[in-house]
Amino acid sequence: MKKIKYIVVHSTATTPPMTGEGIRELWKSDNSKRTPQFHYVILRNGEILKLQTENKLVAGDKGTENTCIHIAYAGGINESGLTCDNSNAIQRDYLFDKIVYLFEKYPDAKVVGADELQPAAITSPGFNVKEWLSNYLPYLPDTELVIEPDYNLELAA
């Protein structure tokens, strides 16, 4: 098993209606990308696409020596082409669950936003990952139950 240093959160830098097939076609049609950019993508309905196995390199690993797992939500760009967080509650829940799963699998990994690894080049995921994780509350429709965050994820300093 490869040594994982980072669980990297991205957006796909697409507008929200992007489908799973559209995401697959996007990276396949770009001849410069021989591999997907992400290991996992979370669609608007919560479906998680597995684009690459965790032990294989993805295009997003450039400069990180294949030490990252890359997970993205479908979205991140508004209709004007500007970076934003346009993820929905379902995507945020599935993103959080996937991060927890990966963190349990790779307990030495740090959870970071893509913009933290390449701040001059990337504006993805469109939100501060450390702040989001610290304040995350699950989406609980039609309930008055309040859950206080009590997570022990190691965040990048």
Q: What would the pLDDT profile of 18-72 be if each residue is shown by its tens digit?
A: 777 777 776 666 555 567 888 999 999 999 999 889 988 887 666 666 789 999 9
- Residue-level pLDDT at 145: 46
Question: pTM of the predicted model, to two decimals?
Answer: 0.81
d(CA 119, CA 102) in angstroms, rounded, equals 23
Q: Kindly list the domain boundaries of the chain, sorted by start residue.
A: 6-135
Choose the CATH number for 6-135 among 1.10.1740.10, 3.40.80.10, 3.50.50.60, 3.30.1360.10: 3.40.80.10
- Of 5, 38, 3, 20, nearest to 109 by C-alpha is 5
Q: What would the pLDDT profile of 16-33 be if each residue is shown by its tens digit?
A: 777 777 777 766 665 555
- Residue-level pLDDT at 16: 77
- Each residue of 25-62: b (16+ CB within 10 Å) or e? ebbeeeeeeeebbbbbbbbbeeeebebbebeebbbbbe
Confidence of residue 106 (pLDDT cuts 50, 70, 90): very high
Residue pointed to by tokens 């696409």? 49
Which positions ≥6 away from 15 have C-beta within 8 Å?
Answer: 75, 77, 78, 79, 86
- Residue-level pLDDT at 119: 74
- Residue-level pLDDT at 155: 55
- Residue-level pLDDT at 94: 94
Asked which of 14-18, 116-120, 151-155 is least confident by mean pLDDT, the reply is: 151-155
